Amino acid sequence: MSDIAIITTCMGRLEHLQQSLPTWLNQGAAEVVVVDYSCPQQSGEWVEQNHPGVKTVRCEGKTHFRIAHARNLGAAASTASWLCLT
């Protein structure tokens, strides 16, 4: 179990996730959780194919982004003591 989790959400911003995710993974012992919040670019699939060690949470069927809901889903999937929400 990691002491800290980096939790990020994605809905229509896959290109930003592709740039930032490698930086978070270089943090070493941090757990990384990505919430695919009905992303039209299927960010969850991309994460699983390119970074299999990252936890991926999918929330399907949403048409409006609700950041609090997305972050809560990521927090629920984490096992870390501390959460860093991005």
pTM of the model: 0.93
For 55-77, the pLDDT digits (tens) are 999 999 999 999 999 999 999 99
Q: What is the mean pLDDT of the segment spanning 44-53?
A: 95
Burial code of 15-45, b = ≥16 C-beta within 10 A, e = fewer?
Answer: eebeeebeebeeeeebbbbbbbbbbebebbe
